[in-house]
Structure 1
Amino acid sequence: MRGAQPAPGLSVKGQNWDGLVVIASGTSWDDTWLSEKHLALHLSRHVPVLFVDPPMSVLTPLRKPLLRESMRGPRLRMLGSNLARLTPMTVPGISRPGLRSVGEWLTRRAIARAVSRMGASVDGLVVASLDDVFGACDARVTVLYGTDDWVAGAELMGISSGWLRRRERLRLENADVVVAVSQELAQRWSQTAATVVVIPNGCDTGHFARVDEVDASSAVTLPDPIAGFIGHLSERIDIGLLEGVAAAGCSLLLVGPRQLTFDLDRMTALLAHENVQWVGAQPFSDLPALMRRIHVGLTPYTDSDFNRGSDPLKTLEYLAAGRPVVVTDLPSSRRIPAGLVNVCTTPEEFTETTLRLLSQAPDAALAEERRAYARSQNWEARTLDFVAIFSAARPGRHAARAAGDPGSPAPTR
């Protein structure tokens, strides 16, 4: 995978940027791999892409050490053929209302200057946050990419729900196309937006297809078999479900960053169990080796408005590795064919199902069914859905799959 540093031998000036797609991400390239980064990597195989980090100040790496690499090298640099990255700089404190607009203005200016320097014609501007970025460049189509229910996540982010609701309405009204990762989000947003299409999250199936052939991670010290959770340990997670699995005596592996304010006492008690190991945030490149040690994947989300509108990436990644999965009863779980995931409605059922699956020998045929489903949901398929949106806005261009073909996004309005 392409890294954060400029690609040697490649120059922004040395490429044709006709038909550029600008992706203004809600998460830095150097942070956790989320939808925008996956989309940028796969989209760059079809069209030129400029990935734009959220604005940073010189103090940002002090708060998020993972982002130190973002400050090194030029602000506009090549990551690989057809893929460039821009890191806008801003003043410290942009989370404050008065300074937020300054950060947004600096981001729009940075994008405009980058597009001019690249000599690009822009087919699409994709914004994956509620930041005021539309208008940064002359794009044939503007897309609001909604990977989460921003308003429902107000408490998680510590932001006023009323303020988020007003910003969300403005962005929905201004976007030419709104992409939602779930039908639940699409139904709500279609009351305001002119055009809403559903494009669920995808899966980097190639990254997890050969999990059983890689060397297992030496960082994991738990005895087999292991139930594992990969993701952000935050308020989205039902900690009671993890406590139940641990109390049953299962080896429980936790992989991912931890929200320090998340149920501090209960998390401390959970991690004190001898049969529980937390390895912290791990690079995406290391996840297959960690997945090798996991026998059953867990998606223990709470039944909240925020989670009902989400589409967890990790469930697909467990399936891509051929692993059995235990999930809570959410709409995203119900869209997966019956038999490929184990949907649980009570804490007792979640624990009992995990214990049962851990005790069973691997089923090679069922594992291949899981992998096959994950392949049908891969990022390449999702990318072609986005390409169809951009192609529809540019006369004379044809997408690899027309917008009415099976698997393409269907407008909800």
Structure 2
Amino acid sequence: AYGGVAGTDRQLADRLSTLVPVLYVDPPVSVTTPLLHPHLADSVKGAALRRLGPGLWRLCPRVLPGAYRPGMHRVTNALVRRAARRAARRVAAELEERVEAVVVAASADLLGAVPGARTLFYATDDLVAGADLLGLPRKRLAAARARMLARADEVAVVSPLLRDLFREQGRDPVLVPNGCAPEVYAAIGSAPWPEDVPRFDRPAAGFAGHINGRIDLGLLEAVAATGHPLVLVGPHDPAYHPARFRALTALPNVCWTGRKSFAEMPSYLSTIRVGLTPYLLDDFNRASFPIKTLDYLAAGRAAVSTDLPATRWLRGFTGGADLIRAEPTADGFVRAVETELATEPTDELLTRRRDFAERHDWAQRARALARLLDIDRHSARQEEPAP
């Protein structure tokens, strides 16, 4: 949802809205959503269609409970398509313009929501590989992806692995990786110290994100076992190793803050010296492109990641291998963290990290999508440059 984690969809919608009016369609919600996901309660309150800014609208489609159950998912998709079509027509009428494009970056097929509009399927994860984590049927996700690959005018992907996968399926997708927002961290040096994070007597490592089945909890445990302070910022999935997580956060050198907003990230990242991307090396994660690695660099922090293809891709750019550590083993990961914790962040090093991040900001990613949608008519169709 737009009001939740500031992920790929929201970041790109914000920046595309500076080029052309954008209607952002949230995942569907029902009257039971606030009970199951309290942080999404805002999606159920008020009008379904809301204007967020000069060129940005948000639609919160209302559906029936049990939206993704077998059979009911078809009703849900039909309701969302109808709501999106009506909202798009309403916004277009208000602006006296036509809907030029539809971008789908989820499993729900909205490509036909506005007949005649140019369509883009933007794969930001391998949802089929992540079916078990998402709690959705693999066959349903695979069928939805196949339909969108066949019907979309253009296809974009977030990672090199997804690009290779879709090429095998007969499409030639454009690589548009995740980015970062360097401007958010420009004043991190003056950000207030969070009240729920103690002052440490030595440099801390930290993780910012959702602690769920994508994360290698063993790596966080191994970092904590070194005795260095460890700051965990983000929600924990109660079903993901609850006993181990309770034991981890009970350690005296571990601070877990729970869910925080994107606007609060400068304060929380200011408390750490090293940012962690401890993703499990499974098929779902290998096709991903973690935003947090670039966010750490944008904040001037060191970045230590597991050896993901997206991490190797970033390391291939000039200076990337010196700024991003990629480790395939737990021992190597912990050694890299300890090395970076012992490295003094000089002004020159901070500048190099931030300069690298700026070359991968969200504005550049949005322009790449704009070219695909023929919104940016001054630039030719162009893929993200290879390192």
Q: TM-score range by the shorter chain?
A: over 0.9
Matches within 5 A, 1:49-88: 49-88=22-61
1:361 aligns with 2:336: no
CA contact (8 A) 2:220 2:278 kept: yes
Identity %: 39
Structure 1 residues 84 and 193: alpha-carbon distance in aligned structure 2, compared to 1, 3 A threshold: farther
Cα deviation digits, residues 315-369 of structure 1 (max 9, x gap) = 0000001111111111111122210111222211211221222122212212211
Q: C-alpha distance in 1, partners of 2:112/2:313?
A: 36
What does residue 347 of structure 1 align with?
Answer: 330
Any unmatched runs of 5+ in structure 2? Answer: 315-319
- After superposition, the Cα gap between the structure-2 partners of 1:355 and 1:410, relative to the gap in structure 1 and judged at 3 Å, is closer
Aligned to 2:267: 289
Tell me the TM-score normalized by structure 2: 0.93
Determine the structure 2 residue equivalent to 1:324. 302
Instruction: Tell me the equivalent position of 1:333.
Output: 311
Superposition RMSD on alpha carbons, in Å?
1.6
Separation in structure 1 between the aligned mates of residue 11 and residue 116 of structure 2, nearest angstrom: 22
> In structure 2, what residue type is equivalent to 1:173?
A
Report the Cα offset of residue 195 of structure 1. Answer: 3.8
Partner in structure 2 of residue 378 of structure 1: 361
Partner of 1:33: 6
**1:236 is the counterpart of 2:214:** yes
Q: Which ranges of structure 1 fall in alignment gaps of 5 or more residues?
A: 1-27, 392-396
Question: For residue 308 of structure 2, what is the amino acid of its counterpart?
Answer: L
> Is the 8 Å Cα contact of residues 163 and 172 (structure 2) preserved in structure 1?
no
TM-superposed deviation, 1:131:
1.1
Residues 129-180 of structure 1 show CA distances to partners (whole Å, capped at 9, x for unaligned) of: 1213221112432111111111110111122323322222112112111111
Say whether 1:276 aligns with 2:249. Answer: no
- 1:124 counterpart residue number: 101
Deviates more, 1:330-339 or 1:154-163: 154-163
* 1:143 and 2:126 aligned: no
Match of 1:394 in 2: none
CA distance in structure 2 between the partners assigned to 1:225 and 1:409 by the alignment: 35
Query: Which residue type is aligned with residue 274 of structure 2?
Result: V
**Letter paired with 2:264:** D
The alignment partner of 1:274 has SS state of coil
Matched residue SS, 2:301: coil
The aligned counterpart of 1:5 is none
Q: Distance in 2 between matches of 1:42 and 1:123?
A: 17
Out of 234-243 and 111-120, give the one that drifted further.
111-120
* 1:94 aligns with one of 67, 71, 81: 67
Give the distance between the partners of 1:355 and 1:219, measured in 2 at CA.
24
Deviations 1:270-315, CA, capped at 9 Å, x for gaps: 1121111110110111110001101111111111111111100000
TM-score, scaled to structure 1? 0.88
Q: What's the CA shift for 1:409?
A: 4.1
Paired residue total: 376
Output the CA distance in 1 between the equivalents of 2:377 and 2:267: 36
Supply the distance in 1 between the matched residues of 2:343 and 2:323 (Cα, whole angstroms). Answer: 15
Following the alignment from structure 1 to structure 2, what is the Cα–Cα distance between the partners of residues 321 and 401? 30
Q: Which residue of 2 aligns with 1:154?
A: 131
Distance 1:372 1:399 in 2: 28
CA contact (8 A) 2:166 2:172 kept: no
SS state of the match for residue 69, structure 1? helix
Secondary structure, aligned partner of 2:101 = strand
Q: Secondary structure at the match of 1:84?
A: strand
